[in-house]
Structure 1
């Protein structure tokens, strides 16, 4: 099926809006968006690939910009953003499954990747398994709890907000 110009513009606009919201949420809540114990409120948006594939690049770009503006080091900018991208792709792949599985990819991706960034890029002296736990708990709060609240709030409007053509 050929994509129309309207669909391309809609995809770009949705992705850009998601990226902008991610950046704003991350920076507004900066005191607990970064570090070994973090609850990045913006990660609740990782539920959005259930609604639109435009969320995948939107979340990646939003995380990338947030990490740059937040003063993160290059490995964090790269690998932290890739963790969000992996999580977003995983959520999109689960879109036809049980909605309660959708938060798992970003939780797992961040819990596995971010502790290594904290350890080797920031020299955080805490054990990696402990940081996997702390980052994982933060991701459960943001993706699992807040993400599912967001899903519930948006689901009844999904065909109006996220229409594709």
Structure 2
């Protein structure tokens, strides 16, 4: 598949828009030391769809502009999402595919969130990690099951 065909670009844009809107609509729960980004359920999508890699990156970048944590979150939070999306696309099954966003967000995003929140790093890792486990892990696997059912693809 050509990465610059119109179908790929549309998929990328739709994923970016949905991620951004879900993040912004959830308000304060999407940012800070205790995060529950419902949009992170979408981080399973690179396992199924290559257009989700740039889509999640762009969506996260745009959402983080509204987040209040500044340039560090806009740049490095988005790059963390990009790295997690890429790694998710390389996982052997959907159950392992949820690990990159959970682990990368917990350990990397917690660096600046703990600094800006004046909280210790390790508890921030746990709170962000727990939010990611719920959104990327639990909700992500539910989304994967729905995706498989709709597309007829059963990928284990």
User: What's 2:58 paired with?
Assistant: 61
Number of residue pairs matched by the alignment: 153
Matched, 1:126 2:125: no
SS at match of 1:141: helix
User: What's 1:3 paired with?
Assistant: 2
Is the radius of gyration larger for structure 1 or structure 2? 1
CA deviation map 1:99-143 (0-9, x unaligned)? 1101000001101111111133x2x22110110010000000000
Q: Is the 8 A contact 2:33 2:114 kept in 1?
A: no
Q: Which one of the candidate residues 4, 9, 12 is aligned to 1:15?
A: 12
**RMSD of the alignment, in Å?**
1.7
| C-alpha deviation, 1:159, in angstroms | 5.8
CA deviation map 1:38-79 (0-9, x unaligned)? 011101000101221000000000000000133330011111
Q: Is the 8 A contact 1:79 1:117 kept in 2?
A: no
- Mind listing any 5+ residue stretches in structure 2 that lack a counterpart? none
Q: 2:126, 2:2 → 1: CA distance?
A: 43
Q: Which one of the candidate residues 99, 109, 118 is aligned to 2:104?
A: 109
- TM-score, normalisation: structure 1: 0.87
Q: 2:42, 2:121 → 1: CA distance?
A: 26
SS at match of 2:5: helix
Matched, 1:145 2:138: yes
User: What's 2:93 paired with?
Assistant: 98
